[in-house]
Structure 1
């Protein structure tokens, strides 16, 4: 555990901790998204669009909790604040899901790549977009409205 705190302290000095922890949880979210996608796609044999919708719903719920608690340390003073924050989170995740679906369709239906390549490619775009949305519009410190 001592190595963890040294590592964290070093990254905090360089102002890289938040990005690093976001990438860690973003990576876990991406992994969950991909695993759920392929469970529904390969084992349950659903259409890739349906599989992608289900995977994204589960990933959004996981990401909200990890972003709120461990990445941005956001505190909600009441239920109304929590609902507003969750609503903004879902709204922006729906935007990134739209990017995900558009690029999945382009890769699979137009460029005709495999869906694994398409899923991995779109997840890179989604992680970047989600960090920007979360940092600027969702989990901003109180009093820093954009």
Structure 2
């Protein structure tokens, strides 16, 4: 069968497409965990949001590292630095997530589920930029060589 559409797996377009797909899965994980704890178990939305964030960050690190940015970090030190940076930037987006949720729910009376959906759109954009520009950025040859020492 002749291929009419091909995406270079090293292109930025491929990275964005994979981020959208994996981000969609991460958002689904985040939303399902949030819904389970908030709607089904009756836990306060702020606590449910925090639990959902932890689960989603762990899921996102693995999928982003493996499928989106194809990290080449190999040593324990490199992976620990990458994971620390990933969690640090995700914590910034968590603060944004929680702040927007509080404003929408407590300030404007928006439904918790709708607030979570709209907040996730903003967070997904911020997380892509953080990951692309800081966490999984392509390192120069010198930086890669120094990491293996």
**TM-score normalised by structure 1 residue count:** 0.90
Residue 14 of structure 1 deviates from its aligned partner by 7.6
Aligned residues: 142
Q: Decide which of 110, 114, 130 is 1:133's aligned counterpart.
A: 130
**TM-score normalised by structure 2 residue count:** 0.88
Give 2:72's aligned residue.
75
- 4+ residue runs of structure 1 moved beyond 4 angstroms? 11-15
Alpha carbons of 1:88 and 1:6: their partners in 2 closer, same or farther (altered >3 Å)? farther
User: Are 2:42 and 1:42 aligned?
Assistant: no
Residue 24 of structure 1 deviates from its aligned partner by 0.3
Gaps in structure 1 of 5+ consecutive residues: none
Aligned equivalents of 1:12 and 1:62: distance in 2?
22
Give 1:97's aligned residue.
94
Q: Is the deviation greater in 91-100 or in 15-24?
A: 15-24
Aligned equivalents of 2:73 and 2:116: distance in 1?
33
Over aligned residue pairs, what C-alpha RMSD do you find? 2.2
**Larger Rg computed on CA atoms:** 2
Gaps in structure 2 of 5+ consecutive residues: 144-149
